Amino acid sequence: MALFRITRSIDPAPLLHGDGLYLRPAQSNDYSAWANLRERSREFLTPWEPIWPADDLTRGAFRRRLRRQQEEIARDESFAFLIFQEHSHLLLGGITIGGIRRGVAQAASLGYWMGAPNAGKGHMTRAVGVVAAFGFSTLRLHRLEAACIPENAASAKLLERNGFQREGFARAYLCINGAWRDHYLFGLLESEFPGGQVRRGPGVG
């Protein structure tokens, strides 16, 4: 069976817009807002994330994060975005299309986090729609996948609002907050995506 690769040239810093939000990769001058929001949200995020490294919120760790982000974009492996409110430029959270698999799969995994002060307001539902449109139109993916622990009902609902279907249950799937946790598995095909086209900022191809 022949293998194939489908991709296209991507702006190294794509800027995406959608319904009161814009998304872009993190930059060095985002450090203070990012570290502050993550620290303020630590208790809120802890049940849903891997254990944070001891130096996770330091400027040095943030610089390493930026280098890794740039390398992964250049290699077409992962596209990480920060989410901002369009008019106030307030940092809301983050979202990533990662683990991109080309060849016969043309698939990737979706991960996201929302700052505690901004949760429950529909921001992430809209951000997932914007990133899904980017994944299907610009990255030319066939399939997006996501997973959440059964207790995270809010995450499951926002995926379903964007057309993701629950496809399975994986035992001890990811190590979350220091323990191997079961997860529900969700998938969305390009042909099923209900969202509109992504709106790009100036200078983005």
Domain ranges of the chain: 16-144
Mean pLDDT for the stretch of residues 73-83: 96
Quick check: 96 pLDDT over 60?
Answer: yes
- Predicted pLDDT at 7: 46
Tally of CB atoms within 10 A around 103? 11
- Predicted pLDDT at 157: 95
Quick check: 153 pLDDT over 80?
Answer: yes
pLDDT in tens, 32-60: 999 999 999 999 999 999 999 999 999 99
User: Would you say 32 and 59 are in contact if contact means Cβ atoms under 8 Å apart?
Assistant: no
CATH of domain 16-144: 3.40.630.30
- Predicted pLDDT at 195: 60
The fraction of the chain above a pLDDT of 90, given in percent, is 85
- Predicted pLDDT at 18: 87
Quick check: 111 pLDDT over 60?
Answer: yes
Quick check: 171 pLDDT over 70?
Answer: yes
β-bridge mates for residue 148, sequence order: 184
The fraction of the chain above a pLDDT of 70, given in percent, is 88
